[in-house]
A and B are shown apart, each in its own frame.
Chain A
Amino acid sequence: MTPIGFLLALVGVCVVQGAAGARLTVAGVQPDLFLILAVGASLGAAPEAAAVMGFLAGIYQDALSGAPLGLRAFTLTLMAFGAARVGRELEASRPAAQFALLLGGAALAGAITLATLSFFFGSPPLLATLLRVIVPETFLTAALGTALLGAARLWRVARKAAA
């Protein structure tokens, strides 16, 4: 993804998550589009570029939420860097494997955010946070992420066929 493409996608995600996030919710939980963007954009990128993209996605997510600035930036930097490392495997794998990898990634992102929040601002109630935030968000984000990866693959195949 080019830098301009990433910035446009970032603005798009900000608008969608900010203005239409309430319409994307399932049982009060919304998918984490910033995580999907950070991981998706990092798949074919160099790890250092992925870290920058993850940081930018995270810092904008912080700015558009009540989170302290840096909370999601810290998490998404690590996730994007990791995604760039496993990018080829994730892109080439089957949807079930992609879903499993994204599930693990989203759960890890939730765990990193929880650990960072606890370290700096005190621990939120663990069970309630797991049940209300991390688990539903993980499943929703992994499902949407797998669907978007599948759509991106179909788009590439269609473009190749057209060429």
Chain B
Amino acid sequence: MSPALFRLLSRHRRGAVLASALLVAFLSLTLQARQDSAPATFAKRALLMTVAPFIKATAWVGGGARTVWREYVDLRGVQGENRRLRGDLQALQQRLEGLQEMAQENRRLQAVLEMPGPPAGRRVVARVIGKDATNWFRTLLIDRGSTDGLERSIPVLNPQGLVGRVVEVAPIVARIQLITDPMSSVGALIQRTRITGIAAGDGGANLRLRYLPLMTDVAVGDRVITSGMGGVFPKGIPLGTVVAVERRSGALFQEAVLDPAADLSRVEEVTALLPLANGAAALEGNGDGRDRPR
């Protein structure tokens, strides 16, 4: 650096530092807006890895403390709960027998129709260790990463329904974009009428089911599942229930508001559906753009 330039920068140090910081942020945003996000993804992963061990350790200690407290509290009402659970178990066993019968029937019918079954990839159970650090996006941090086989775009669910998809992967942690994130959209199907639409996050607690033809039958209480279109999410995962239908005058489509099947404000454990080794390409596919990560 020439002495003249050095003197100039020293004289305008404040402005130079401010401009440099703003320029770096601006360039990073420009790269990501132009889809050339590899350097930004790498930088984000590196930054995440510097604090992820601390977050993981804190979540582990907090989880342990909560478990101890919960177990202590639970001990007090455990007998009554035990009786109730035995009753529930009996009812569930009866229901399970019925479902097993139906599953067998389903397999037989699928074989008859030569339909492909649900994806049988490996499942990885992960614990939620963090929430999005801003109020602008809806994402979660989980304690599994690329060392456990996680990749981008892998669907994530819990027993109630679809939670979201993996959007960032570091070696020991990964970030899930929730289905309610404003940048998320999922191919959806109304179970009763078989009408397809796109379930997009509204940034709040609900989803909006878009592009439903005006004359189609959509009613409050309809259950909505993933349509399987777009190749990211397997078909048939519960998405939510219609709680309102909106028809605006002059609009080409009607919209429905969905209450997500999974309680996304209280997710603690999730399951990631890993692709089969030879089915990885199918999961990566994004042909019609319906299942769209940011």
Contacts and interface: CB of A to CB of B under 8 A. Distances in A.
Nearest to A141: B135
A117 B136 contact: yes
Contacts of B24: 55, 70, 73
Interface size bucket, B side? 35 or more
Contacts of B26: 70, 74
Contact of A74 (B13, B29, B203): B29
B254 interface: no
B54 A15 contact: yes
A69 B183 CA distance: 15
A14 B131 CA distance: 11
A70 B130 contact: no
Interface string B151-191: 00000000000000001000000010100011100000000
A113 B136 contact: yes
Range, interface on chain A: 35 or more
The prevalent SS among residues of A at the interface is helix
A132 B203 contact: yes
B166 to A, nearest CB: 12
B54 A14 contact: yes
Contacts of A30: 131, 135
A28 B29 CA distance: 27
A69 B37 CA distance: 9
Contacts of A151: none
Nearest to B134: A65
Interface stretch (B41-49, B95-103, B115-123): B41-49
Report the 5 A-B pairs with minimum CB-CB distance, sorted nearest first. A66-B137, A70-B28, A66-B139, A63-B47, A70-B25
